[in-house]
Chains A and B, each alone.
Chain A
Amino acid sequence: QKEVEQDPGPLSVPEGAIVSLNCTYSNSAFQYFMWYRQYSRKGPELLMYTYSSGNKEDGRFTAQVDKSSKYISLFIRDSQPSDSATYLCAMKEEYGNKLVFGAGTILRVKS
């Protein structure tokens, strides 16, 4: 079993839809949770970063962390074709700097 599980998709939605992307994990020591966006043939770019549990909002993006369920989510409101990309969750323990990544979910937003 992988330490971080993420549905690879692809997830196809119409423009304007609310998108929900999720990851589950098994290591209860994870404290930092991140979402990266990766466009085709590009490097990943940091989208959202959350420490411990709770919600964080940035524009159309909301990240949620539920440590009791070992479950994290990224919501995208009013999705746009430019949001079409692969979304990678990543997480790490309190100390040390090794990130563990999910396999990534391919998102396609159709206009």
Chain B
Amino acid sequence: DAGITQSPRHKVTETGTPVTLRCHQTENHRYMYWYRQDPGHGLRLIHYSYGVKDTDKGEVSDGYSVSRSKTEDFLLTLESATSSQTSVYFCAISAGWGRDQETQYFGPGTRLLVL
């Protein structure tokens, strides 16, 4: 998985509780992404980061926040989890943009169940 780890790999939580997912990379890549994957929707971008402390929203950012204080770590926080956020969350990294730089490599995923 291209030097990408995600933690936890599985989590069950209750509605209304905060949840933080962590993505850690050892590739020193500039860009990091958080996606969620749901049946019938494929992968949808939640937030991404283009450098330390530089982040931007994706397609489905409502209810999520992110932080990146170090190149290697990208955190995704659900401030108050809802059942609609039950999903599989994937982190991805890329070196940059432009040919041969923009390929995204994915982590193993985190399965989140919100009861």
**B97-110 to A contact mask, C-beta < 8 Å, 1/0:** 10100111111110
Is A81 part of the contact surface with B, judged by Cβ < 8 Å?
no
Partner among A6, A43, A96 whose Cβ is within 8 Å of the Cβ of B90: A43
Partner among A51, A96, A99, A103 whose Cβ is within 8 Å of the Cβ of B104: A99
The reply to whether A98 and B48 form a contact with Cβ atoms under 8 Å apart is yes
**A61-105 to B contact mask, C-beta < 8 Å, 1/0:** 000000000000000000000000000101010011111011110
- Counting chain A residues whose Cβ lies within 8 A of the other chain, the interface size class is 20 to 34
A99 to B106, CA, bound (A): 12
- The A-contacting residues of B in range 20-57, CB under 8 angstroms, are 31, 40-45, 48, 50
The reply to whether B102 and A92 form a contact with Cβ atoms under 8 Å apart is yes
The reply to whether B108 and A88 form a contact with Cβ atoms under 8 Å apart is no
- Counting chain B residues whose Cβ lies within 8 A of the other chain, the interface size class is 20 to 34
The reply to whether B90 and A95 form a contact with Cβ atoms under 8 Å apart is no
Q: Report the minimal beta-carbon distance from B45 to chain A, rounded to whole angstroms.
A: 6
Which A residues lie within 8 Å of B97 (CB)?
95-97
Partner among B40, B90, B94 whose Cβ is within 8 Å of the Cβ of A44: B90
Which A residues lie within 8 Å of B1 (CB)?
43
Q: Which A residues fall within an 8 A CB radius of B?
A: 4, 6, 8, 32, 34, 36, 41-46, 49, 51, 88, 90, 92, 95-99, 101-104
Partner among A4, A6, A44, A92 whose Cβ is within 8 Å of the Cβ of B106: A44
Is B58 part of the contact surface with A, judged by Cβ < 8 Å?
yes
The reply to whether B58 and A97 form a contact with Cβ atoms under 8 Å apart is no
A95 to B50, CA, bound (A): 14
Whose C-beta in chain A lies nearest to the C-beta of B90? A43
- The A-contacting residues of B in range 40-92, CB under 8 angstroms, are 40-45, 48, 50, 58, 90
Which A residues lie within 8 Å of B44 (CB)?
101
The reply to whether B109 and A42 form a contact with Cβ atoms under 8 Å apart is yes
Which A residues lie within 8 Å of B4 (CB)?
43
The reply to whether A104 and B58 form a contact with Cβ atoms under 8 Å apart is no
A51 to B101, CA, bound (A): 12
Which B residues lie within 8 Å of A41 (CB)?
109
